[in-house]
Amino acid sequence: MGAGVTVTPSVGGTARATLAAPRIAPRVPARFPEGWRLPSGASATFAPNAMAVSNSLPASEAAVEILKRGGNAVDAAVALGFALAVSWPEAGNIGGGGYMVIRLADGRTAAIDYREVAPLAATRDMYLDANGKLTDKSIVGHLASGVPGAVAGMAHALERYGTMSLRDVMQPAIRLAREGFVVDTGLASSIRNSERVRQFEGASVFFPNGQPLVAGTRLVQPDLARTLQAIAERGPAGFYRGWVADSLVAEMQRGGGIITTQDLAQYTPRERRPIRSSYRGFTLLAMPPSSSGGVTMTESLNILETWPSLGAHGSTPWYHAVASAYQRAFIDRNSKLGDPDFVPVPLEQLTSKSYAQALRRTISETRATPTRDVDATMQALPREPMNTTHYSVVDAAGNAVATTTTLNGSWGSGVWVRGAGFFLNNEMDDFAAQPGMPNMFGLVQGEQNAIQPGKRMLSAMSPTIVLDSAQQVLLVVGAAGGPTIITGTSQVILNVIDHRMNLADAMRAPRLHHQALPDSLTIEIGGVAPAVQDSLRAMGWALRPLRSLVNVNAIMRVPGGWEGVYEPRRTGGASGH
Ligand code: DON
């Protein structure tokens, strides 16, 4: 078994390479509780050279089109990102932001932070009413939007790490917008359930004649095609200046929003160093703040590594250990993290193995710890439907890209930019709009994440690349689902590393979630054996069953190529060549 790529004539390009097999223990068949609705043993999509996985098949195919034309994984990921803004508009976007983790076959890594920022006119208490009560203005309507970062971020990634022009990689997206694509069942159901879209101008596109678009309809978006064309021709200036920017600002002024031409003109993505951590001999490259994803995942996995073995997947000790680790990591996340350009963040401490040892000593082997024992101020309840989207791309040279992007809630703030054809985010709700009060995900966050002009709101997005002991890309993974992104992404990693599942089983395995507050252990209905539920309750866990947890899209190296799996609980597409 050779290490790394055996033939790499050009690292940034796409020259054919023979991928070495992963350095990983043999896979074993997974065993899930009887009656679990996603039985083990399903197969993944296999491709020998390259792979793209997302929540939209046309968008994954856009990436493969670019890979086949000689683009590398970054070229393809940027093509995919723009295509998602057309074919998965509830979450794919140009009016939002995201995070991209890159690992090139020559060992270079990057973490690109293109999170939205608070507008310059934002204030700490802008979402409180005259009586100091929190309103819903951080969620619905024009005031809810941060300054979008998606276009600047994707253009930055392409310029630094891609090989093709923006104009070329955007062609598939422009074609999808101009010529249309067929609405699938996932998109149709999302439109049907999007009450918010009906309230704003996007209704003319998604509810023609007042009726939601149904599956099978061809959706053509000429305004969006013109906007994408402007970006393809002028780069980020096609979005942040000129008629698209003017349309966005006019929309703001029409609806009482505060984003100005100055906000748009000065938006800049940040390139950061990925958090590099280890877990049982594997290396994780994860997103640093302004996302909490990498820190919280690293802290959780460091705690879990203190057990020589986690026990059988789905057993009582397994649920107890995994939930206890998440609970502690989220307590730190919610109180200590924020935008590192504005507040000090104790990165070293939170990601250190010795700190994890100390936290491990607070976990009883027999009893759940109530979160209030640790922090008595926290109380929370979740609200709101939601959507984000993650995509993973790898190429034949072994370059890998993990990207998560979002408008925050499904269809963002609902506000649609007239004439330019896209939705705006409601990312301002990811701030602690009132420190100590829950946001729409029930997250209770502190002063570190209070609103300030120009500041990035704390995120949970966790695009992650896992390397094997030979430092080859093993897994490219990430998710949608607010705080469950962190727990869902890390469980796919646990399933592969600890439980030796293949990727299909790792994605189908029942999931759990704990975020400190609400102080409940969320489980998937049908995913936990009744006897295990009884023993967890007896240990003091408050179980909260949900139909479905997290939307993950992942790629894994296998002998001879790659396997791709889109979220089995949702719709999507894995496409390769
Ligand atoms: O950045 C964040 O953590 C959130 N805005 C993500 C929102 C999300 O994943 C919604 N869900 N599917």
93-134 pLDDT, tens digit per residue, is 999 999 999 999 999 999 999 999 999 999 999 999 999 999
Q: For residue 291, what is the DSSP state?
A: B
Q: Is 12 a residue whose pLDDT tops 60?
A: no
CA of 484 to the centre of ligand 1 (A): 9
If we measure between CA atoms, which residue out of 317, 432, 327, 411 comes closest to residue 369?
A: 327
558 beta partners: 561
With a 6 Å cutoff on the Cβ, whether 406 touches ligand 1 is: yes
Whether 36 and 511 have beta carbons less than 8 Å apart is answered as: no
Whether 417 and 251 have beta carbons less than 8 Å apart is answered as: yes
Q: Is 417 a residue whose pLDDT tops 50?
A: yes
Q: Which residue has the tokens 């010529």?
A: 179
Whether 239 and 208 have beta carbons less than 8 Å apart is answered as: no
For residue 156 the two structure tokens come to 């930055």
* Residue 388 annotated in active site: yes
Domain(s) labelled CATH 3.60.20.40 in the chain stretch across 273-388+461-576
CA of 482 to the centre of ligand 1 (A): 4
If we measure between CA atoms, which residue out of 78, 168, 11, 158 comes closest to residue 403?
A: 78
CA of 460 to the centre of ligand 1 (A): 7
CA of 532 to the centre of ligand 1 (A): 30
- Return the residue whose CA atom lies nearest to atom 2 of ligand 1: 459
Q: Is 151 a residue whose pLDDT tops 80?
A: yes
Whether 380 and 443 have beta carbons less than 8 Å apart is answered as: yes
Burial degree of 129 (CB within 10 A; 0-12, 13-18, 19+): exposed
Q: Which residue has the tokens 């976007």?
A: 93
Please tell me the predicted confidence (pLDDT) of residue 381.
39
With a 6 Å cutoff on the Cβ, whether 479 touches ligand 1 is: no
If we measure between CA atoms, which residue out of 239, 67, 83 comes closest to residue 173?
A: 83
Q: Which residue has the tokens 């594997």?
A: 282
With a 6 Å cutoff on the Cβ, whether 91 touches ligand 1 is: no
CA of 97 to the centre of ligand 1 (A): 11
Give the separation between CA 245 and CA 264, rounded to whole angstroms.
7
For the segment 393-402, the average pLDDT, to the nearest whole number, is 98
CA of 430 to the centre of ligand 1 (A): 8
With a 6 Å cutoff on the Cβ, whether 388 touches ligand 1 is: yes
With a 6 Å cutoff on the Cβ, whether 480 touches ligand 1 is: yes
Whether 406 and 96 have beta carbons less than 8 Å apart is answered as: yes
- Return the residue whose CA atom lies nearest to atom 1 of ligand 1: 459
Catalytic residue, from 388, 404, 484, 489: name it: 388
First CA to last CA distance, the chain = 23
CA of 1 to the centre of ligand 1 (A): 39
Residue type at position 378: M
Burial degree of 34 (CB within 10 A; 0-12, 13-18, 19+): exposed
- Return the residue whose CA atom lies nearest to atom 8 of ligand 1: 482
Please tell me the predicted confidence (pLDDT) of residue 389.
96
In the chain, % of residues over pLDDT 90 = 89
> For 452-508, where are the E strands, in sequence order?
464-467, 473-477, 479-480
At residue 329, φ and ψ (nearest 5 deg) are -65, -35
With a 6 Å cutoff on the Cβ, whether 387 touches ligand 1 is: yes
- What Å distances lie between residue 385 and 197, 426, 486, CA to CA? 13, 12, 18
pLDDT band at 247 (very low <50, low <70, confident <90, very high): very high
Q: Mean pLDDT in the chain?
A: 94
In the chain, % of residues over pLDDT 70 = 95
With a 6 Å cutoff on the Cβ, whether 556 touches ligand 1 is: no
Please tell me the predicted confidence (pLDDT) of residue 375.
55
Pocket test for ligand 1, best of 138, 406, 462 (most atoms within 8 A of CB): 406
Please tell me the predicted confidence (pLDDT) of residue 471.
96
With a 6 Å cutoff on the Cβ, whether 430 touches ligand 1 is: yes
| DSSP-derived 3-state class of residue 81 | helix
Whether 365 and 311 have beta carbons less than 8 Å apart is answered as: no
- Return the residue whose CA atom lies nearest to atom 5 of ligand 1: 408
pLDDT per residue over 68-100, tens digit each?
Answer: 999 999 999 999 999 999 999 999 999 999 999
Whether 520 and 505 have beta carbons less than 8 Å apart is answered as: no
Q: Which residues, 6 or more positions from 62, have their beta carbon under 8 angstroms from its beta carbon?
A: 79, 80, 82, 83, 172, 173, 176
Give the separation between CA 423 and CA 411, rounded to whole angstroms.
7
Q: Is 9 a residue whose pLDDT tops 70?
A: no
What is the b/e burial string over 147-180, where b = at least 16 CB atoms within 10 angstroms of the residue's CB? bbbbbbbbbbbbeebbbbebebbbbbbbbbbbeb
Ligand 1 atom having least distance to the Cα of 292: 3
Q: Is 222 a residue whose pLDDT tops 90?
A: yes
With a 6 Å cutoff on the Cβ, whether 408 touches ligand 1 is: yes
Please tell me the predicted confidence (pLDDT) of residue 441.
84
CA of 283 to the centre of ligand 1 (A): 25
For the segment 346-351, the average pLDDT, to the nearest whole number, is 98
Ligand 1 atom having least distance to the Cα of 430: 5
Ligand 1 atom having least distance to the Cα of 460: 3
Pocket test for ligand 1, best of 403, 441, 455, 569 (most atoms within 8 A of CB): 441
Whether 301 and 140 have beta carbons less than 8 Å apart is answered as: no
For the segment 233-245, the average pLDDT, to the nearest whole number, is 98
Pocket test for ligand 1, best of 388, 391, 410, 426 (most atoms within 8 A of CB): 388
Pocket test for ligand 1, best of 384, 386, 423, 571 (most atoms within 8 A of CB): 386
If we measure between CA atoms, which residue out of 327, 394, 401 comes closest to residue 364?
A: 327
Give the separation between CA 479 and CA 437, rounded to whole angstroms.
25
pLDDT per residue over 469-523, tens digit each?
Answer: 999 999 999 999 999 999 999 999 999 999 999 999 999 999 999 999 899 999 9
Q: Is 1 a residue whose pLDDT tops 60?
A: no
Segment holding 54, helix H or strand E: strand 51-54
Q: CA 231: distance to chain centroid? A: 24
99 beta partners: 113, 404
Whether 513 and 505 have beta carbons less than 8 Å apart is answered as: no
Parallel/antiparallel/unpaired status of strands 543-546 and 521-524: parallel
For the segment 435-447, the average pLDDT, to the nearest whole number, is 85
Half-sphere exposure in the Cβ direction for 479 (13 Å, CA): 27
- Return the residue whose CA atom lies nearest to atom 6 of ligand 1: 482
Long-range contacts of 209-216 (CB under 8 A, 24+ apart): 212/188, 213/183, 213/187, 213/188, 214/183, 214/188, 215/183, 215/184, 215/185, 215/187, 215/188, 216/182, 216/183
With a 6 Å cutoff on the Cβ, whether 575 touches ligand 1 is: no
Residue type at position 311: G
pLDDT band at 553 (very low <50, low <70, confident <90, very high): very high
For residue 361 the two structure tokens come to 């000593």
Alpha helices in 275-400 (DSSP H): 293-305, 316-336, 347-350, 353-360, 371-374
Please tell me the predicted confidence (pLDDT) of residue 150.
98
Alpha helices in 465-550 (DSSP H): 484-497, 503-508, 530-538
Give the strand order in the sheet containing 270-272.
270-272, 109-114, 97-103, 400-406, 388-394, 51-54, 573-576
Q: Is 376 a residue whose pLDDT tops 60?
A: no
Q: Which residue has the tokens 């502690």?
A: 328
The structural architecture, per CATH, of the domain 273-388+461-576 is 4-Layer Sandwich (3.60)
CA of 530 to the centre of ligand 1 (A): 31
For residue 540 the two structure tokens come to 């003091």
Give the separation between CA 422 and CA 20, rounded to whole angstroms.
42
- What Å distances lie between residue 369 and 323, 354, 555, CA to CA? 10, 21, 35
If we measure between CA atoms, which residue out of 287, 340, 284 comes closest to residue 153?
A: 287
CA of 265 to the centre of ligand 1 (A): 25
Please tell me the predicted confidence (pLDDT) of residue 438.
84
- Return the residue whose CA atom lies nearest to atom 10 of ligand 1: 387
pLDDT per residue over 164-186, tens digit each?
Answer: 999 999 999 999 999 999 999 98
Please tell me the predicted confidence (pLDDT) of residue 269.
98
